[in-house]
Amino acid sequence: MKQKRVLILGGDGYLGWPTAMQFSAEGWAVAVVDNFAKRQWENLCGVAPLLPIRTLRERIDAWKDHSGKKIESHFGDICQVEFLEEVFRSFRPDAVVHYGEQPSAPYSMRSREDAVYTQVNNVVGNLNLLFIIKKYNPRCHLVKLGTMGEYGTPNIDIEEGWLEIRHRGRKDRMLFPKKPGSFYHLSKVHDSANIEFACRIWGLAATDLNQGVVYGIHTKETRLDPSLATSFHYDHVFGTVLNRFVVQACLGVPLSVYGNGSQTRGYLNINDTLQCVRIAVLKPARPGEFRVFNQFTEQFSVQQIAEKVRLAALQMGLETKIQTMPNPRVEQLNHYYRARHTKLKELGLKPQLLTGAVIEEMLAVALENKHLANLQIIHPSITWK
């Protein structure tokens, strides 16, 4: 049987690296692409992951030592179409997992230059990929990481990508209306529209994964050795709220809740992200189908997340307070939020829910490495106004 081949864009990243190891462990031929821009953005913003992360080359070598399996790597920018063409021609993927974009809402709101860069980088790279798939293998399945932030917080239930509407006696099926909250989230909206167009006009097959807030440090493969670790960001630019609260609890400072803490979003464990991507690749969309999955397992308010961390910290003997602060973002408070997320479960997703034990494990890792934490990079310095 021919060995299946998966190309992972953004393979040096928080999700890209564990995804590469997962498919490699399961016998796929794996190639990763990265231009290491994320590491450059971190340096520019003066932030860093809590745990030191080896270079991609060092991690690939460590993975080969542990597994005996090779991961192929390509250094370059997918906005350079000639580079991406050469990778596609030489590797000939059956599926592409696209993580290779600027991933931070705060970064996109730093300045005009950063907003422009985010949109050009994300939209152009994705467009290049669509044209190359069309040219070299229209049957190659695209699995694209989107975000639940595309939807915003509408005052109606959020469907999975599509909405059946009636208007003046007629009905149609249309993409769900989008109300993104940053220039980063807007770039993802543009991506989704371009992918849907390519599927409808060219007959490409694509799955758009509208992902919620991801948390967690370890996957099955990263546990094998510290040299295989993936990044854990807790800072105000690239960190997510649960990660920030975990590190604040370990440092003995109040958990910083923006605004009144009523902002509600979908959340999922990093291991569930890997499950979802695997499901999407193994059970691909049909030619001409633009398939949208809302990729999260639970929804919480920021205040609820803070309370969960406080209680887990208390179990470990850490007295933790919760403190509200002015919200640096412009976002709706006390909003309605109910999003459908059934399709991945129907295809076999078995969620790993946010329990006290999960948070305690994250706290244990943060406690062990709290001497590496920098309190100065937690407080937000980027505002939406």
Judge whether 355 counts as a catalytic residue: no
pTM metric for this prediction: 0.98
The per-residue pLDDT for 298 is 98
Signed CA dihedral, 249, 251, 252, 258: sign only: negative
Judge whether 184 counts as a catalytic residue: yes
The per-residue pLDDT for 1 is 77
288 Rama class: left (phi>0) / alpha (psi -120 to 50) / beta: left
Catalytic residue (one of 38, 118, 144, 147)? 147
Burial of 183-222, coded b for 16+ CB within 10 Å and e otherwise, reads bbbbbbbbbbebbbebbeeeebbbbbbbbbbbbbbbbebb
Radius of gyration of the chain (CA): 20
Judge whether 345 counts as a catalytic residue: no
Burial of 102-135, coded b for 16+ CB within 10 Å and e otherwise, reads bbbbbbbbbeeebbebbbebbbebbbbbbebbee
The per-residue pLDDT for 252 is 97
Residues in the chain, pLDDT under 70: none
Q: Does residue 301 contact residue 261 with C-beta atoms inside 8 Å?
A: yes
Q: Does residue 258 contact residue 332 with C-beta atoms inside 8 Å?
A: no
Catalytic residue (one of 14, 99, 107, 184)? 184
Catalytic residue (one of 38, 188, 308, 343)? 188
| Domain 5-224+269-297+337-351 homologous superfamily, CATH | NAD(P)-binding Rossmann-like Domain (3.40.50.720)
